[in-house]
């Protein structure tokens, strides 16, 4: 997944450079066209991949946290199950 983020970010970075150029020239018409046709096409793949990476990192963190907790923890299917003592 990480290997897909780098080239996607490079493309988005190139588009951000174009945006800076448009903004520095204060070209409202070109800015509107850029936003409508190119900006989101460059940014959306990056945000999608970063969201997916964040979800994977969260899952791994929950699993690691569960291993460190006595009786499992939130990542362990036994979490919340308490043994009853005979008494």
- The string of pLDDT tens digits covering residues 11-61 is 888 999 999 999 999 999 999 999 988 888 888 888 888 898 899 889 888
Prediction pTM value: 0.53
Given a contact cutoff of 8 angstroms between Cβ atoms, the answer to whether 17 and 25 are in contact is no
Domain residues of the chain, as ranges? 2-68
More confident residue, 49 or 84: 49
The maximal CA–CA distance of the chain, rounded, in angstroms, is 81
Could you give the angle at the alpha carbon of 45 between the alpha carbons of 60 and 64, nearest 5°? Answer: 5
């Amino acid at each position: 997944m990480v290997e897909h983020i780098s080239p996607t970010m490079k493309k988005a970075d190139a588009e951000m450079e174009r945006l800076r150029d448009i903004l520095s020239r204060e070209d409202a018409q070109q800015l509107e066209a850029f936003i409508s046709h190119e900006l989101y096409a460059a940014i959306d793949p990056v945000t999608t991949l970063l969201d997916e990476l964040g979800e994977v990192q969260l899952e791994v963190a929950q699993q690691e946290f569960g291993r460190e907790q006595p009786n499992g923890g939130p990542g362990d299917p036994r979490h919340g199950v308490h043994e009853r003592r005979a008494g």
